[in-house]
Amino acid sequence: MIRQADSVTKLQSKSISSLIMWILLILVWFIAIIRFDEFGLATNRLGGHPAWSIAGAIAGTMTVVGISILIDYVPKVSEVLSLIGRGSLALLCIHMVEMNVFPWARMITALDVMFGHRMLWMMFFAIRLIMDLILVICLYHIPVVNAIFFPSLQKELNEPSRSK
Protein backbone atom coordinates (compact mmCIF):
# COMPACT_ATOMS: atom_id res chain seq x y z
CA MET A 1 0.00 0.00 0.00
CA ILE A 2 2.85 2.38 0.85
CA ARG A 3 4.69 1.47 -2.36
CA GLN A 4 1.59 2.25 -4.43
CA ALA A 5 1.14 5.65 -2.73
CA ASP A 6 4.85 6.36 -3.25
CA SER A 7 4.64 5.57 -6.99
CA VAL A 8 1.53 7.77 -7.37
CA THR A 9 3.36 10.64 -5.64
CA LYS A 10 6.37 10.18 -7.96
CA LEU A 11 4.09 10.15 -11.02
CA GLN A 12 2.32 13.34 -9.88
CA SER A 13 5.67 15.01 -9.22
CA LYS A 14 6.93 14.00 -12.66
CA SER A 15 3.73 15.30 -14.31
CA ILE A 16 4.02 18.66 -12.54
CA SER A 17 7.72 18.93 -13.46
CA SER A 18 6.90 18.10 -17.07
CA LEU A 19 4.11 20.68 -17.18
CA ILE A 20 6.41 23.37 -15.74
CA MET A 21 9.08 22.47 -18.33
CA TRP A 22 6.58 22.83 -21.21
CA ILE A 23 5.29 26.14 -19.86
CA LEU A 24 8.87 27.46 -19.62
CA LEU A 25 9.71 26.27 -23.14
CA ILE A 26 6.63 27.96 -24.59
CA LEU A 27 7.35 31.12 -22.60
CA VAL A 28 10.97 31.30 -23.86
CA TRP A 29 9.74 30.69 -27.41
CA PHE A 30 7.18 33.51 -27.24
CA ILE A 31 9.65 35.93 -25.64
CA ALA A 32 12.09 35.16 -28.46
CA ILE A 33 9.32 35.82 -31.00
CA ILE A 34 8.44 39.15 -29.37
CA ARG A 35 12.10 40.24 -29.17
CA PHE A 36 12.83 39.01 -32.71
CA ASP A 37 14.53 41.47 -35.03
CA GLU A 38 16.62 39.40 -37.43
CA PHE A 39 17.78 35.80 -37.66
CA GLY A 40 19.39 34.05 -40.60
CA LEU A 41 21.55 30.95 -40.32
CA ALA A 42 22.41 31.01 -44.02
CA THR A 43 23.85 34.52 -43.68
CA ASN A 44 25.17 34.03 -40.13
CA ARG A 45 23.01 36.84 -38.69
CA LEU A 46 21.76 36.33 -35.15
CA GLY A 47 20.17 39.75 -34.71
CA GLY A 48 20.42 42.10 -31.75
CA HIS A 49 19.54 39.40 -29.19
CA PRO A 50 21.48 36.28 -30.22
CA ALA A 51 20.99 34.50 -26.88
CA TRP A 52 17.21 34.92 -27.11
CA SER A 53 17.27 33.88 -30.77
CA ILE A 54 19.16 30.67 -30.04
CA ALA A 55 17.16 29.89 -26.88
CA GLY A 56 13.93 30.62 -28.76
CA ALA A 57 14.96 28.39 -31.64
CA ILE A 58 15.72 25.49 -29.28
CA ALA A 59 12.55 26.05 -27.22
CA GLY A 60 10.43 26.41 -30.36
CA THR A 61 11.85 23.23 -31.86
CA MET A 62 11.22 21.28 -28.66
CA THR A 63 7.68 22.68 -28.44
CA VAL A 64 6.89 21.77 -32.05
CA VAL A 65 8.26 18.24 -31.52
CA GLY A 66 6.16 17.91 -28.35
CA ILE A 67 3.04 19.11 -30.15
CA SER A 68 3.79 16.69 -32.99
CA ILE A 69 3.95 13.81 -30.52
CA LEU A 70 0.59 14.83 -29.06
CA ILE A 71 -0.96 15.19 -32.54
CA ASP A 72 -0.10 11.55 -33.21
CA TYR A 73 -2.83 10.64 -30.71
CA VAL A 74 -5.48 12.48 -32.78
CA PRO A 75 -5.92 10.27 -35.88
CA LYS A 76 -7.82 12.72 -38.12
CA VAL A 77 -5.37 15.58 -37.53
CA SER A 78 -2.47 13.16 -37.94
CA GLU A 79 -3.81 11.98 -41.32
CA VAL A 80 -4.29 15.54 -42.62
CA LEU A 81 -0.78 16.56 -41.55
CA SER A 82 0.60 13.40 -43.13
CA LEU A 83 -1.00 14.39 -46.44
CA ILE A 84 0.48 17.87 -46.16
CA GLY A 85 3.87 16.43 -45.25
CA ARG A 86 4.01 14.45 -48.48
CA GLY A 87 4.49 17.73 -50.34
CA SER A 88 7.09 19.15 -47.97
CA LEU A 89 10.14 18.20 -50.10
CA ALA A 90 8.69 19.98 -53.10
CA LEU A 91 7.75 22.96 -50.90
CA LEU A 92 11.30 23.16 -49.53
CA CYS A 93 12.83 23.08 -53.01
CA ILE A 94 10.36 25.64 -54.36
CA HIS A 95 11.07 27.88 -51.37
CA MET A 96 14.83 27.71 -51.95
CA VAL A 97 14.46 28.62 -55.63
CA GLU A 98 11.89 31.35 -54.95
CA MET A 99 14.03 32.81 -52.18
CA ASN A 100 17.02 33.15 -54.51
CA VAL A 101 15.16 34.26 -57.65
CA PHE A 102 12.86 37.00 -56.35
CA PRO A 103 14.40 40.20 -54.92
CA TRP A 104 12.50 39.90 -51.62
CA ALA A 105 15.14 41.71 -49.54
CA ARG A 106 15.01 44.82 -51.72
CA MET A 107 11.22 44.76 -51.81
CA ILE A 108 10.89 44.37 -48.04
CA THR A 109 13.46 47.09 -47.36
CA ALA A 110 11.70 49.53 -49.69
CA LEU A 111 8.26 48.81 -48.27
CA ASP A 112 9.56 48.86 -44.69
CA VAL A 113 10.90 52.37 -45.26
CA MET A 114 7.57 53.41 -46.76
CA PHE A 115 5.27 51.78 -44.18
CA GLY A 116 7.58 50.97 -41.26
CA HIS A 117 5.58 48.35 -39.36
CA ARG A 118 5.88 44.68 -38.52
CA MET A 119 2.65 43.70 -40.29
CA LEU A 120 4.64 43.94 -43.48
CA TRP A 121 6.57 40.77 -42.54
CA MET A 122 3.37 38.83 -41.95
CA MET A 123 1.97 40.04 -45.27
CA PHE A 124 5.10 38.93 -47.12
CA PHE A 125 5.06 35.58 -45.32
CA ALA A 126 1.46 35.00 -46.42
CA ILE A 127 2.18 36.05 -50.01
CA ARG A 128 5.25 33.83 -50.24
CA LEU A 129 3.44 30.87 -48.69
CA ILE A 130 0.53 31.13 -51.12
CA MET A 131 2.90 31.57 -54.06
CA ASP A 132 5.00 28.57 -52.96
CA LEU A 133 1.92 26.38 -52.52
CA ILE A 134 0.70 27.29 -56.01
CA LEU A 135 4.13 26.39 -57.42
CA VAL A 136 4.06 23.04 -55.55
CA ILE A 137 0.67 22.29 -57.11
CA CYS A 138 2.21 23.07 -60.51
CA LEU A 139 5.10 20.67 -59.77
CA TYR A 140 2.55 18.00 -58.87
CA HIS A 141 1.15 18.15 -62.42
CA ILE A 142 4.46 18.06 -64.35
CA PRO A 143 4.84 14.38 -65.37
CA VAL A 144 8.58 13.74 -65.03
CA VAL A 145 9.18 16.11 -62.13
CA ASN A 146 6.29 14.85 -59.99
CA ALA A 147 7.90 11.39 -59.81
CA ILE A 148 10.89 12.97 -58.03
CA PHE A 149 8.99 15.08 -55.53
CA PHE A 150 5.94 12.87 -55.06
CA PRO A 151 7.09 9.22 -55.04
CA SER A 152 3.64 8.07 -53.94
CA LEU A 153 2.36 9.04 -57.40
CA GLN A 154 4.91 6.74 -59.02
CA LYS A 155 3.86 3.90 -56.72
CA GLU A 156 0.22 4.39 -57.74
CA LEU A 157 1.16 4.25 -61.42
CA ASN A 158 3.30 1.12 -61.00
CA GLU A 159 0.73 -0.87 -59.00
CA PRO A 160 -1.42 -3.17 -61.10
CA SER A 161 -5.09 -2.35 -61.19
CA ARG A 162 -7.06 -4.12 -58.49
CA SER A 163 -10.37 -3.93 -60.25
CA LYS A 164 -12.09 -7.23 -60.99
pLDDT by residue, tens only, the chain of 164 residues: 555 555 555 555 667 778 888 999 999 988 888 877 666 666 677 777 778 888 888 999 999 998 888 888 888 988 888 877 877 888 888 888 888 888 877 777 777 777 666 667 777 778 888 988 898 888 888 888 888 888 777 666 666 555 44
Q: Phi and psi for 51 in degrees, rounded to 5?
A: -65, -45
C-alpha 109/C-alpha 116 separation (Å) is 9
Assess contact for 83 and 136: CB atoms under 8 A.
no
Residue 159 per-residue DSSP state: S
pTM: 0.52
